[in-house]
């Protein structure tokens, strides 16, 4: 089945040279697309692929908190990347240490139920959080008491900066 120089090829027979040329073409095409395409996608996406590392929400003066009782704080801020601006809103419950406890201790909990994201409500009389959507209950430390929530309320880091209590979202 060897062909002599000058002998015409038979129809339907592909030579080794044709196969290697085709493979080389496709390897070069894919490599070129990757070399040019990946930086282009990254350029087009801009900062939208980068996550915001941290955002501290001001709660207020720690002196205005009632020791041992929760205060609800509604927050709102805007996050902006290269292409879009997003408004973030939420609810935080924060309490200071009860009287006699060490000063400077705060507990900040996200007000979002871990089941489906409804806002929970603090009941001072029952000393627990209740989710109105599916009857989930949490204790005063955010642990699940009953209902469908799979996890406790998210505890937020706090700090005091220039006399203002802040929570890390």
DSSP result, 111-134 = -B-TTT-PBPEEETTTTEEE-TTT
Query: Structurally, how many domains does the chain consist of?
Result: 2
What is the spatial distance between Cα 169 and Cα 32, in angstroms, rounded to a whole number? 42
Over residues 14-63, the pLDDT tens digits come to 788 888 999 999 999 999 888 888 777 777 666 555 655 578 989 888 88
For residue 52, the model assigns a pLDDT of 54
Same-domain check for residues 105 and 140: yes
The structure's pTM equals 0.64
Domain harbouring 151, CATH code: 2.102.10.10
Same-domain check for residues 97 and 70: yes
Same-domain check for residues 68 and 142: yes
Over residues 93-111, the pLDDT tens digits come to 999 876 544 445 899 999 9
Domain holding 145, by residue range, is 56-168
Q: Is pLDDT at 157 greater than 80 in this prediction?
A: yes
Q: Is pLDDT at 127 greater than 60 in this prediction?
A: yes
Q: Is pLDDT at 3 greater than 80 in this prediction?
A: no
């Amino acid at each position: 089945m060897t062909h002599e120089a000058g002998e015409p090829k038979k129809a339907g027979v592909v030579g080794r040279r044709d196969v290697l040329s085709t493979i080389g073409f496709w390897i070069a095409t894919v490599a070129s697309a990757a070399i040019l395409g990946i930086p282009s996608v990254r350029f087009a996406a801009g900062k939208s692929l980068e996550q915001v590392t941290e955002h501290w929400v001001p709660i207020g003066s720690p002196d205005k908190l009632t020791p041992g009782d929760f205060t609800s704080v509604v927050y709102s801020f805007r996050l902006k990347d290269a292409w879009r601006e997003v408004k973030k809103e939420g609810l935080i419950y924060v309490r200071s240490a009860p009287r006699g406890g060490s000063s400077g201790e705060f507990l900040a909990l996200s007000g979002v139920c871990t089941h489906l994201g409804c806002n929970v409500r603090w009941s001072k009389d029952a000393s627990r959080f209740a989710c109105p959507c599916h009857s989930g209950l949490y204790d005063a430390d955010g642990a699940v008491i009953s209902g469908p929530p799979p996890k406790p309320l998210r505890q937020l880091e706090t700090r005091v900066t220039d006399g203002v209590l802040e929570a890390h979202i």
